[in-house]
Amino acid sequence: QKEVEQDPGPLSVPEGAIVSLNCTYSNSAFQYFMWYRQYSRKGPELLMYTYSSGNKEDGRFTAQVDKSSKYISLFIRDSQPSDSATYLCAMKIAGAQKLVFGQGTRLTINP
């Protein structure tokens, strides 16, 4: 079993919809939780990170962490075709540099 599980999709939704992306994990030592966006033929781009449990909002993006359930989510409101990409969750323990990634979810927003 992988430390971080993420449904690879693909996920296809109409423009304007609310998108929910999720990851589960097994290592309770993870303290930092990140979401990256990766366009085709590009490197991952950091969208948001949160420490421990709670919510964090940045524009149309909201990240949630539920450590008791070992479950993290990324919500995208008012989705745009330009949001079409692969979304990767990543996690790490405090004091470490190693990021453990989910498989990535390929998202398509249809105009």
Positions that interact with other proteins (CB under 8 A): 32, 34, 36, 41-46, 49, 51, 88, 90, 92, 94-104
Measured from the CB atom, the residue of 58 and 98 that comes closer to other proteins is: 98
d(CA 40, CA 43): 8
What minimum distance in Å lies between the beta carbon of 32 and other proteins?
5
DSSP 36: E
What minimum distance in Å lies between the beta carbon of 93 and other proteins?
10
What minimum distance in Å lies between the beta carbon of 41 and other proteins?
8
Contacting residues for 75 by C-beta, under 8 A, at least 6 apart: 18, 19, 20, 21, 61, 62, 63, 64
